[in-house]
Copies of this chain bind each other. A is one copy, B any other.
Amino acid sequence: MSQQRHGNPPGNAGAVTAFPDLPEATIARLPEYLRALHNLAENGSDTVSSEGLAAAAGVNSAKLRKDLSHLGSYGTRGVGYDVALLIDQIEYILGLDERRAVALVGVGNLGHALAGYDGFASRGFRIVALFDADAERVGKPINGLLVRHIDELGRAVVEEGITIGVIATPAGAAQAVADELVAAGVTSILNFAPCVLSVPAGVDVRKVDLAIELQILSFHEHRKASLTALPGGRADESGIEAVGS
């Protein structure tokens, strides 16, 4: 799994860039900037101001500038940022130039959809293997890829150079799958199962729980409903969420 040197960031021949340790909050926003930049590039923009990019990404312009400043100085005062250069920079930082191989475990309801989701392929990833424990599903093709039995996971991870695993199994099976992924050498896991995973230090886990997102919205609905139902309660909020697309 360990790849070696990456050399220097593209378009910046001389500088030996130590790997920057960016704030987590910044890292989480870089992909959003990247998406906005790709949109701008498609629309033919060569440069963009922090104000413009911030609007497109839905953030404050000062925050955007501070985020980008952590990557280095890639803007030009009085002009803005070079769109193509910034795309290269962010893709380099995120490690997207490698088109990482991803394994997807669990091709049930959700997993099936994920296997067919073209957003992965178009944004820097290759799903190279699908696994399931159910014999009914093994051997059938999804999107041109055969579902393999989970027992083959270890071998496939090594052979295909898989570095990221996606878990889309029921909660009950998720921990066992995570253990197998880790044992096979995977060090990053995206977990869609509604449960907490226990992994060794050095392994990163991100969790997406669809029901939790709804429950958070439900709280705000509940709160808003209480406010409007009350005498003197105010329906409007002072915050502004509107953002240019």
Query: Could you tell me which A residues sit within 8 Å of B by CB distance?
Result: 1-6, 19, 21, 27-28, 30-32, 34-36, 56-58, 93-96, 98, 100, 102, 109-110, 112-114, 116-117, 119-120, 122-125, 163-164, 166, 175, 187-190, 194-206, 208-230, 232-245
Contacts and interface: CB of A to CB of B under 8 A. Distances in A.
A217 to B, nearest CB: 4
Across the A-B interface, give the 9 residue pairs with the lowest CB-CB distance, nearest first: A95-B222, A113-B113, A58-B196, A31-B215, A188-B217, A31-B212, A6-B226, A123-B211, A4-B229
A57 B94 CA distance: 29
B241 A203 contact: yes
Given A215-B123, A219-B30, A236-B201, A226 B196 contact: no
A145 B112 CA distance: 20
Copies in the complex: 2
Contacts of A163: 221
Contact of A164 (B188, B204, B217, B233): B217
A8 to B, nearest CB: 12
Given A198-B244, A201-B236, A208-B210, A96 B218 contact: yes
A3 B230 contact: yes
A125 B245 contact: no
B211 A120 contact: yes
